[in-house]
């Protein structure tokens, strides 16, 4: 499965007095990457929760910090599915600085699928299929190697 990439620019509020990104923001960016990964496969958390009563609850999270990010850096959050099981799924992440390709952090999250009553349930097959599918091309973009007519 290919990585999905999402860009984020470091905001001033995400840094400390020295202009270095606070460690907690990487977890927020993991969630941002995960949400965008799902959108790229034509569904959203909101749709899963409201339409199919399936919530992806974070059960574990791991992050290894490798290098600092700074105010106004453009970062790339890379996300992919590592594992999909009947009642859980695991995502992996890499965050790197776009300007020099330095890896800043890497990590993973494990999610249990629950219903609105917080009872563990099976992941609906439709979402399993979408999570494991290839990313859908943007319908507003032109096919590769083809100019607009």
Q: Give the pLDDT score at 110.
A: 98
Tens-of-pLDDT digits for all 149 residues of the chain?
689 999 999 999 999 998 999 999 999 999 999 999 999 999 998 999 999 999 999 999 999 999 999 999 999 999 999 999 999 999 999 999 999 999 999 999 999 999 999 999 999 999 999 999 877 655 554 455 555 44
- Contacts of residue 82, defined as CB under 8 A and 6 or more positions apart, other chains included, come to 90, 91, 92, 108
Structural fold of domain 4-131: Thiol Ester Dehydrase; Chain A (3.10.129)
Cα first-last separation, the chain: 32
- Contacts of residue 74, defined as CB under 8 A and 6 or more positions apart, other chains included, come to 7, 8, 9, 10, 97, 98, 99
Instruction: State the Cα–Cα distance between residues 23 and 34, nearest whole angstrom.
Output: 18
Domain-wise residue ranges, the chain: 4-131
For residue 26, the number of C-alpha atoms closer than 13 Å in the C-beta half-sphere is 28
Cβ atoms of 9 and 73 closer than 8 Å? yes
* Catalytic residue status for 16: yes
What are 7's strand-pairing partners?
76
Mapping DSSP to helix (H, G, I), strand (E, B) and coil, where does residue 28 land?
Answer: helix
Indicate which residue of 2, 16, 52, 115 is catalytic.
16
- Contacts of residue 143, defined as CB under 8 A and 6 or more positions apart, other chains included, come to 137
């Amino acid at each position: 499965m290919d990585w999905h990439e999402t860009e984020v620019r470091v905001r001033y509020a995400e840094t400390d007095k020295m202009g270095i990104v606070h460690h907690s923001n990487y977890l927020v960016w993991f969630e941002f990457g995960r949400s965008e990964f799902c959108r790229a496969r034509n569904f959203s958390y909101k749709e899963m929760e409201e339409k199919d009563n399936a919530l992806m609850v974070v059960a574990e999270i791991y992050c290894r910090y490798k290098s600092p990010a700074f105010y106004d850096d453009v970062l790339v959050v890379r996300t992919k599915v590592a594992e999909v099981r009947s009642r859980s799924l695991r995502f992996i992440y890499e965050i790197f600085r776009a300007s020099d390709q330095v890896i800043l952090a890497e990590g993973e999250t494990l999610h249990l699928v629950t219903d609105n009553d917080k009872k563990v349930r099976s992941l609906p097959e439709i979402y399993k299929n979408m999570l494991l599918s290839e990313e859908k091309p943007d319908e507003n973009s032109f096919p590769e190697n083809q100019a607009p007519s």
